[in-house]
Chain A
Amino acid sequence: MRNADFHSPIGRLADAMKQLEYKWVETKEDWSDGVSQKVEDDYLVPLHGQVQALVDTVEKMAGVMAKAERACQHPRESGPIL
């Protein structure tokens, strides 16, 4: 898309979530008790769900926006920008 870039920020968010989850896997090796279980169940699992839902929403939105851009452009605008 020329008029907006949704993929870069949502990709960064998904990557940040992966890094956090990776760090948590490492941390769990050294920390396993009631508090660590609470951290995972009450915060990390819901956070993963929220981020994944947002990624899906943005991907769907980006598809619609790309179609809108193609439909509303003049044919001569769809060529490469020099």
Chain B
Amino acid sequence: MAGGADVKSLESVYEFRAAVLNFQEEARLCLQALESQILKFLGWIERERPGFWKRQIELSYRAHGEARVSFHRCRMRKMGDFKPTCFEERKAMEAAKQALEFAQKQIPVVKLWIANTHHEANEYKGRSSQLHQFIERDLPELLSILGHSIQQLEAYANVAAPNAVTGASAEIRSAVAVEDEAVGDDASDAEAEEAEAVDVEVENTKTKKTDEGADRHSDVETTAEEQS
């Protein structure tokens, strides 16, 4: 990491971390809901529809048979020289025939749409598994980075969370410089040397933590050296 940390408000980082956690939870729920809706739809088209149209074929076949019988019965009817047109019976028979043909045609239509919807569901699964992986693998990494940054900033600011650290970098440096100056006024030369030695030791320990830490403490060390 090049350069020091530049955080004006530690509270912003806390809030962003909370927002990431909220997003993670919401995204999980949304993916579950989508999965559930897809299963519901596939269940409807794969299991409910074929049975529905088979029943419709049976019903239409029966209705067509009844309409045909009714039509033939009408045609057999004679009232003297009058021969009925059987217009209504003919229409009913034609409608029943159309309904039967429509139901029969629906069987391959449903099969075709089962294949199409399966294809779409598979595309969704591929895409959603990538997001799922991101949510379960990358977001925890991000949360870890944010948590680590918060810990470091809390350590540098030496304040209890969630107090805001306004102008953290500059304020930390100036606070350390003021503290060193006060010590320098009262302490003897030997004490100043000892304090410097402790500063160097502290700096060596903190340098291992992060690069930003190194940057800040080198500034503090420079200030202390100038004062001594």
Where the two chains meet, the residues of A that have a C-beta atom closer than 8 Å to any C-beta of B are 1, 3-6, 8-10, 12-13, 16-17, 19-20, 23-24, 26-27, 29-35, 38-39, 43, 46-47, 50-51, 53-54, 57-58, 60-61, 64-65, 67-69, 71-72, 74
Contacts of B223 in A (CB 8 A): none
Closest A residue, CB atoms, query B49: A72
The answer on a CB contact under 8 Å between B12 and A31 is yes
Of B61-69, B73-81, B134-142, B176-184, the one contacting chain A is: B134-142
User: Is the pair B33, A9 in contact by a Cβ cutoff of 8 Å?
Assistant: yes
Q: Is B70 interfacial (CB-CB < 8 Å)?
A: no
Q: How far is the CB of A76 from chain B (nearest CB, A)?
A: 10
User: What's the least CB distance linking B120 to chain A, in Å?
Assistant: 4
**B10-48: contact bitstring with A at CB < 8 Å (1 yes, 0 no)?**
001101100110110011011101100110110011000
A3 to chain B, nearest CB (A): 5
Which residues, 119 to 140 on B, are CB-close (under 8 Å) to A? 120-121, 123-124, 127-128, 130-131, 134, 138-139
Check if B16 sits within 8 Å of A9, measured CB to CB: no
Selected A-B contacts with CB under 8 Å, 5 pairs:
A20-B22, A57-B127, A61-B123, A72-B109, A74-B52
Do the beta carbons of B23 and A35 come within 8 Å of each other? no
B interface with A by C-beta (< 8 Å): 1-9, 12-13, 15-16, 19-20, 22-23, 26-27, 29-31, 33-34, 37-38, 40-41, 44-45, 49, 52, 56, 106, 109-110, 113, 116-117, 120-121, 123-124, 127-128, 130-131, 134, 138-139, 141-142, 145-146, 149, 211-212
CB-CB nearest in chain A for B117: A68
Are the CB atoms of B1 and A35 closer together than 8 Å? yes
- Closest B residue, CB atoms, query A33: B6
Contact, CB under 8 Å: B8 / A31:
yes
Q: Shortest Cβ distance from B66 into chain A, in angstroms?
A: 19
Q: How far is the CB of B176 from chain A (nearest CB, A)?
A: 19
Asked, given contacts A43-B142, A57-B124, whether A6 binds B34 with beta carbons under 8 Å apart, the answer is yes
Q: How far is the CA of A26 from the CA of B19 in the complex (A)?
A: 12
